[in-house]
Structure 1
Amino acid sequence: MTSTQPQDTETGDDGSSAGTTTWSRVVIFGAATLAVLLVGATVGMLITQARQSEQAPAPAAGSVEVGFAQDMSMHHLQAVTMANVARDRSTDSKIAQLAFDIGSTQLEQVGRMKGWLMLWDQPEDLLGEPMTWMEQPQGHGGHGAASGSASGAPMPGMATSDELAKLRSLSGKELDVYFLQLMLRHHQGGTDMARYAYDHADVPAVRTLADSMLRSQGAEMELMRQLLAERGARPLPFP
C-alpha cells in the first residue's frame, strides 16, 4: 500500500535540504521586515494625525523634525543592512541576537519616521546635503551641519561601500568582530543627531523617539564594547 510521505525540511547528513531551509528563512524574515515597517509607519501617522487635529502646522522643509526624519532614516537603513548580514551569517548566538534586535528596532523606527514625512507632505529621501538642519556649526560633539565623515561616508558613523563589502566577505569570529566595530561606530555617529533632535524639535513625538534612540542605543553601545573586549578586539577610532 502506497503511503504519502511528508516533505522533510530538516537538513540531512548530506545537506541536501539546506537550500529549502535557507529559502524559508528568507521568506520569514522578508515578511517580518514588511510587517515591522508597516507598524512603524502606522504609529508615525497616527501620532502625526493627532498633532494635526490640534491645529498645529506641519513641520516645513529644513526644520529639525523633517531633517531628522530624513537623515536618521537613511542612517538607520544602513544599520539594518549591516545587522541583516550578521543575523544571517554569524554562528555566535549573542551576535545573531544583537543583530536581530538592532535590525528590528531600527526598521520599526524607519517606518515611523517615513510615516511622519508622508503626512507632512515631505519627501522621504534626502534631497540635499545631510545634517543641514543642525544649526550649530560644530553640532554636538563636533559633527555639525553637512559635516559628513572623514572616510567619505554621507554622515558620521556610517560605513563606506568598501567597509560594507568587507563585512560581507568575512565569516566566523572575524565577521562578528567587524560587525561589532562597524555598528558601534555607527551608533556613535547617530547619537549627535538624536541628541540635537531631542533638544531642538518642537514636535513631542520626535523628541520622544530621539530620547528612545539615545537610551536604547546607549545600552547597545555598552554591550558591543563588552562583546568586543570578550573577543580581544577594540572599537574603531571615532573622531
Structure 2
Amino acid sequence: MTLNLEAWQKRVLFVLCLVAIAGLFALAFTAGRVAATPQQPGTNSAEAGFARDMQVHHAQAIEMSRIVRDRTDDVVIRTIAYDIAMTQQHQIGQMYGWLEEWGLPQSTDAERMAWMAGSHGGHGNGPENMLTQDGLMPGMATPEEMQELSEATGEDAERLFLELMIDHHRAGVDMAQAGVDLTQDPEVRALAQKMADGQLIEIVEMEKMLEGL
C-alpha cells in the first residue's frame, strides 16, 4: 500500500509540474502577443493631430485645384491641378480611415498644429505662434485669396493658382516632415514621407511653370 501511495503521489506531482509548465508557456505566449501588439494612438497624439490637420490642409488644396481647372484652358495647369486633387483626396481617405480605425473623432477642440510643438516645424513654440493672423494653418489661402482665384481667368488664374499652391505645398512639406519626426506608427510615417517627397517635386515643377508665364 505504501509503495502504491508513493507512486500515486509521484504521478500527481508529475502532472502538477506539467500543468505548471504549460501555464508558464501560455503566460509567456500571451505576454508576447500583448507586447507585440502596437498601441493605438490617443486623441492627443501626434498621429491623430497630423491626420486631422492634414485633412483640412489637403481639402483646401483640392478646392483650389478644382477652381483653377474651370478657370483655364492650359493643359499643363489643368493636369497638375487634377493630379494634386486626386492624390490629396486619396490621402484624405487614408487619414480619415486611420482615425476611424483608432476609434478617434475626426475633429476636436484642440488648437490646430498643437501636435507639432517640439518638432522642427514647431520650433518649440505653442500652436498660437504657428497659425497665421487669420487663424489659418501656414500656407493656407485666405477667404479673400480664394475668392480672387474663383473670379480670375486665363493667365491671371494660372499665376494666382501657382503662387498660392507653392506656398500651400511648402507649408504642407513642413507639416508632413513633422509627422515623420514625431510619429511612432510606421504607416503614418510612410505616408507623411510620401507627402513631403511628392510635394517637393511638385513645388519645383510649379516654380518652373510660374517662371514661364
Q: Does 1:210 align with 2:185?
A: no
String of CA shifts for 1:93-131, please: whole Å, max 9, x gaps. Answer: 010000000000000000000000011111112422101
* 1:145–1:118 Cα change, 3 Å: farther
* 1:143–1:79 Cα change, 3 Å: farther
Kindly tell me the number of residue pairs found equivalent between the two proteins: 178
* 1:66–1:131 Cα change, 3 Å: same
* 1:144–1:183 Cα change, 3 Å: farther
State the Cα distance separating 1:144 from its structure 2 match.
4.7
Instruction: Name the SS for the 2:107 alignment partner.
Output: coil
Which of residues 88, 112, 131 in structure 2 aligns to 1:106?
A: 88
Q: Which residue of 2 aligns with 1:220?
A: 202
Quick one: distance in 1 between partners of 2:210 and 2:133?
A: 22
* 1:145–1:217 Cα change, 3 Å: farther
Q: Is the 8 A contact 2:122 2:130 kept in 1?
A: no
The TM-score normalised by the length of structure 1 is: 0.70
Q: Which residue of 2 aligns with 1:71?
A: 53
CA RMSD of aligned residues (A): 1.9
Q: Which residue of 1 aligns with 2:173?
A: 191
Q: Which residue of 2 aligns with 1:55?
A: 37
| Higher relative helix content | 2
The TM-score normalised by the length of structure 2 is: 0.78
**Identity percentage of aligned residues:** 37
Quick one: distance in 2 between partners of 1:154 and 1:172?
A: 28
Where does the alignment leave 5 or more consecutive residues of structure 1 unmatched? 1-51, 232-239
204-213 or 148-157, which deviates more: 148-157
Task: Report matched runs for 1:171-182 at 5 Å.
Answer: 171-182=153-164
State the Cα distance separating 1:153 from its structure 2 match.
4.5
The amino acid across from 1:80 in the alignment is I
The amino acid across from 1:140 in the alignment is G
String of CA shifts for 1:139-190, please: whole Å, max 9, x gaps. Answer: 4275954234434152000011111011001000000000000000000111
